[in-house]
Amino acid sequence: MAVIEALDAGIPGCELAAVSMRDTASAAERLAHLSAPVPVVEVAALEPLADIVVECAPAAIFAAIAEPVLRAGKTVVALSAGAILSNEHLVAIARENGGQIIVPTGALLGLDAVTAAAEGEIHAVRMVTRKPPAGLVGAPYLVENGIAIEGAREPIRVFRGTPREAAKGFPANLNVAVALSLAGIGPDRTTLEIWADPSVERNCHEIEVEADSARFSMRIENIPSENPKTGRITALSVIACLRKLGAPMRVGT
């Protein structure tokens, strides 16, 4: 809702054209406070109405949202970065039709530094994520491997691998790791650890990068939104991204 409300309040160069929600029955009530009413439509009806579509849906329907928009040569602002790895054909569709997929910084920081370093040679990228157990409960990887974290009293390392593997096992949790890998050395060379940590109240990400141009580390602690699987800053990142599209001056790569 934060992105919808920001657009309703006014972002130069952007205008809210339509909204798609899973629960269309309650959508009218949720949007009743907007100054300018907009239609609530099915996902398939978004492309004819908008030049830019902000995707913040379950990863399973990412392609259904993005493909018609990209075929029309338009732009998708994608929060489900992990879904890109299982739908890599969408990048080719965007290239062929003049469309674009924009992955906003989201809950991470320092992507500008990583993309800059990638113009040279990056030797290694390591990321460690710690989340309150409630933010990881129900993840397919935990269910499939019988990993119980409810009631955990000590930190539990629940995953060690790559962002590509994490995108499948934690589709609602680790889009930040995929974004980091796409900015840097890819989803198969980036290493990732995920911890369910009852001692933290925020979603914590630590990143270390070693490159021929610099060595740097980053840490961010994100306050969870009403959805414990994501942070409040994610929506703010989308708003900042939209402001940049029509800004007379842009700060950052």
**CB burial class (10 A; 0-12, 13-18, 19+) of residue 42?**
exposed
The closest alpha carbon to 179, from 141, 207, 210, 217, belongs to 207
List 33, 89, 123, 205, catalytic entry: 205
CA distance 102 to 40: 23
Q: Is 205 part of the annotated catalytic residue set?
A: yes
CA distance 253 to 194: 28
Buried b (16+ CB within 10 A) or exposed e, 28-37: eeebeebeee
**Residue 226: which residues within 8 A CB-CB, separation 6 or more?**
none
**Angstrom distances, CA of residue 23 to CA of 16, 19, 27, 50, 215:** 19, 11, 6, 21, 46
CA distance 75 to 162: 28
- What does the angle CA 244 – CA 246 – CA 247 come to, to the nearest 5 degrees? 60
For the record, the structure tokens of 159 come out as 């995953």
Active site residues: 205
